[in-house]
Chain A
């Protein structure tokens, strides 16, 4: 979507001048300037750890800058915490959903800002009504009264989005809001954001899906290693230009798929059913094959792989690994049989945030590293260092806690942790969520190499080009059912989307 030319440069609503921020000896931002204008959408691009989230947190009043200034309507401000920025009309969607698990969705959205009746009493009905209205606006069917506990990552992100839209923001800041969303939700979000922008809101948008940047924004600022590379109009720029600015070099192929001969079935799933979630799901993954599981958010993809791995129990059906039946509902049994699951939700299931990077990587393979029950620290460290290099991890020290890494780098640690177990069947759920293009190519290369080594790979992904570029076979789910199994040659954007939205199944019926 192209945008009107900036009219005679009005003063930016919100701006940063020469801002610097360090954490210990990590220099997250060095002298970065940024201007956000009313009615314009601006993008922020950069590799994992480039400092994007840090910049946003400074705009949001979470961090104060070490030096430099934040300007609101041209005047220097220093926000007294997130509340100060909020009161100034700045709405922020943070990269990691931060919800109150025990409270309802409605309360999560309006916490601290609930509509009130006389005497300051909360108007519960109004809160619920406003939430329902927001959900309608975003086109999702979430019950305002249900607790946030148990929401999928995508739904958590939707609640975060609703939170930011729930007040008349002059500035809307979004840190990878679409990372867990599929196209339908993304399109809805963009429609809503475009409407806000047309009403005069300034928008700052971060995404590792470069196509989205071109679709939503008019201009872009690129960061590399905390320093500003360029601020420019997107008109006349190509995705490759953007990548070059981010990475500082040309990028090799993003989908380096090798053709491999597939062997005997490594993972066989028969009639797997979980009441109310998915029904009668049967498929197999052969050695050396990469099978993608596609579908819209909420189609039940993650639920299926979790049931396969045994994190959730299934109500019916069976799973076989290498011809042996797997004990249902036992991740330990699955791991012993050589299955690894890289989960979608890194905060809840993937990582121990307080533990160090090396410990997190070593967690899954403790017995292999140990001798007589003692984990050999040197081994642990060398393995962690090994993986850190392979995945281009950006970190201070391996003994730092995982919690301080940037979002994409946390994802890399999750990957390393499971790849280190040298599995026979690798299940990855959104393996490149929040990962920058350079590393994405690296992860893809890794997956291909693993498959070439005879590993069976099952991949859940909301990134359609990734699905099409990497998979030997695409399984498509729609409302809890497996509706299509497309070989690589037949899988196109149209055929997959038709199946995912239930169109082809209707035709077939």
Chain B
């Protein structure tokens, strides 16, 4: 009756096929996908370099000491938030509440330290703690409550914004009341490099390392790539998603504290609307909005690119309206190229199956 195709038992089943028989397709399947990711990061890097170079030609002041410093400072917080957001997006979720969390924690930290002599460390700790609280709340609703992430975090956005409004009641924190130590964190530098971008780079590198080298980091990719398979592989999906939100919240809270240190003068809705910029940066940087693909390095490059566009437009005295239009166009371009590239690589990979 129906037996398998052949009975090849006479052929010793154990003898492995020589693996170095066809070095061609083996190598290329790997380098192909490597290349795709590198192309993405290289092209953003190239665009960034081109933009900086062009703006510098038009206005050499763009790249003097102060110009570079401004660029770094401006992008530091966005890079930080993009790092946190990437971790959530990798799991096929989204966190739209980050902007409001930054605003609230900046204001809360400001109120807490106003007229006191608290240290910078205390402020950072407070901000991070507050952020974790917000993140965990969203995370619980998404993972254990099984409410769609978009709805939960949009709700959180309004709740946090509203809380901020009621609490602040139009007040603002004045730089004059913020302790010297805290402000120094925002304005100081080592060897000419301001603290803020250094801190962002540190968080970025640590996150990238974690995502690559720890089981739980890889599991975030797995969850975003195929939730059903992740469940069968025994990955604690809900705990991981909760963790991702807690991290995103922590980073947002941390960024809020840095915001206070940087500007001194803050209002509760300081970072309203940032969530969309952050998500744009992440997507432009090659993190798939459907999860499972991308790196925080790419997201950081995306954040750098968006910030630089903003700064360049100011230097070039272009109507700031264009910034939004350009961001939008970039976003659409990024998503469509992702689509095309993905189907092309699938094609190519299918070709390069075993032969």
Contact = CB atoms under 8 A, between A and B. Distances in A.
Interface of A: 62, 81-84, 86, 94, 98-103, 107, 111-112, 114, 116, 120-122, 124, 132, 135-137, 139-143, 145-147, 149-152, 155, 178, 181-184, 186-188, 190-191, 208-212, 215, 239, 243, 254, 274-277, 294, 296-298, 300, 303, 312, 437, 440, 462-467, 479-480, 493, 497, 500-501
A26 to B, nearest CB: 20
B90 to A, nearest CB: 10
Contacts of A139: 13-17
B29 A146 contact: yes
B239 to A, nearest CB: 11
A130 B218 CA distance: 18
Contacts of A107: 218, 221-222
B1 A480 contact: no
Interface stretch (B176-184, B225-233, B241-249): B225-233
Interface stretch (B135-143, B250-258, B309-317, B341-349): B341-349
Given A139-B15, A141-B17, A183 B219 contact: no
B231 A102 contact: no
Interface in B132-189: none
A86 B232 CA distance: 10
Interface string B204-218: 000000001111001
Nearest to A150: B349
B210 to A, nearest CB: 10
A209 B3 contact: yes
Contact of A464 (B4, B231, B293, B351): B4
A120 B354 contact: no
B21 A141 contact: yes
Contacts of A152: 350, 353
Given A155-B354, A276-B25, A276-B352, A182 B6 contact: yes
B355 interface: yes
Contacts of A135: 19
Contact of A149 (B16, B25, B349): B349
Given A100-B225, A150-B349, A276-B355, A463 B1 contact: no
B19 A141 contact: yes
Contacts of A147: 33, 349
B8 A100 contact: no
Nearest to A212: B4
Interface of B: 1-9, 11, 13-17, 19, 21-22, 25-26, 29-30, 33, 212-215, 218-219, 221-222, 224-226, 228-236, 288, 292-293, 345-355
A155 B3 CA distance: 20
A211 B233 contact: no
B228 A114 contact: no
A185 to B, nearest CB: 9
Given A100-B229, A101-B225, A143 B4 contact: no
A182 B3 CA distance: 10
A112 B231 contact: no
A437 B2 contact: yes
Nearest to B237: A81
Contact of A83 (B226, B236, B292, B352): B236
A384 B13 CA distance: 45
B15 A183 contact: no
Contacts of A181: 4
Interface centre among B29, B213, B354 (most CB of A within 10 A): B354
A405 to B, nearest CB: 16
A5 B275 CA distance: 67
Contacts of A188: 13
Contact of B214 (A120, A437, A462, A465): A120
A142 B4 contact: no
Contacts of A464: 3-6
A81 B234 contact: yes
Across the A-B interface, the 5 shortest Cβ-Cβ residue pairs: A83-B234, A150-B349, A211-B3, A183-B6, A98-B229
A243 B13 CA distance: 30
A466 B224 CA distance: 40
Contact of B9 (A82, A101, A187): A187
A465 B226 contact: no
Given A107-B221, A147-B33, A479-B355, 11 more contacts: A62-B231, A83-B234, A86-B234, A122-B218, A141-B26, A149-B346, A187-B9, A191-B13, A294-B5, A298-B355, A464-B6
B25 A440 contact: no
Nearest to B236: A83
Contacts of B232: 62, 82, 94, 98
Contact of A102 (B14, B25, B212, B221): B221
27 contacts: A82-B231, A98-B229, A100-B226, A100-B292, A111-B235, A112-B219, A122-B215, A136-B19, A139-B16, A140-B17, A141-B17, A141-B22, A143-B26, A146-B349, A184-B5, A184-B8, A210-B2, A211-B2, A211-B3, A211-B4, A275-B351, A276-B351, A294-B5, A296-B5, A298-B353, A463-B4, A464-B4
A145 B9 CA distance: 30
Contact of B30 (A145, A239, A274, A462): A145
B349 A141 contact: no
B3 A99 contact: no
Contacts of B230: 100, 111
A210 B21 CA distance: 35
Contacts of A102: 221, 224-225, 288, 292-293
B23 to A, nearest CB: 11
Nearest to B226: A100
Contact of B6 (A101, A112, A184): A184
B1 A465 contact: yes
Nearest to B228: A98
A456 to B, nearest CB: 24
A493 to B, nearest CB: 7
B349 to A, nearest CB: 3
Contacts of B7: 183, 187, 493
Contacts of B224: 102
A465 B288 CA distance: 45
A120 B215 contact: yes
A211 B9 CA distance: 14
Contacts of A190: 13
Nearest to A296: B5
Nearest to A137: B16
A391 B350 CA distance: 32
A186 B22 CA distance: 23
A36 to B, nearest CB: 20
